């Protein structure tokens, strides 16, 4: 079983930094109203993460 920390990977404290590192196919998520961000692949954005309060950050450009 994969742990949540393995799915989430590195923590980013800036949305800009996460956007620089994320590929176009990856999703940036947060669970604390924008204090920290994580990059996940679409297949890793599971119901479990959603239930834990992780939400995709809008990609408005």
Three-state secondary-structure class, residue 6: helix
Read off the pTM.
Answer: 0.85
| Residue in the structure block whose two tokens are 């940036």 | 28
- In this prediction, residue 16 carries a pLDDT of 95
**Domain spans in the chain, listed from the N-terminal domain onward:** 4-56
Q: Exposed, middle or buried by CB within 10 Å (0-12, 13-18, 19+), for 35? A: exposed
pLDDT tens per residue across span 33-59 = 889 999 999 999 888 899 999 999 975
How far is residue 29's CA from residue 50's CA, in Å, rounded to a whole number?
Answer: 10
Whether the per-residue pLDDT at 21 is higher than 50: the answer is yes
Are the beta carbons of 39 and 18 closer than 8 angstroms?
Answer: yes
End-to-end, the C-alpha distance of the chain in Å comes to 36
């Amino acid at each position: 079983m994969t742990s949540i920390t393995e799915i989430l990977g590195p923590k980013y404290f800036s949305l800009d930094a996460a956007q620089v590192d994320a590929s176009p196919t990856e999703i940036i998520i947060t669970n604390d109203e924008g204090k920290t961000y994580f990059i996940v692949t679409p297949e890793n954005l599971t119901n479990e993460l959603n239930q834990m309060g992780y939400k995709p950050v809008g990609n408005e450009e």
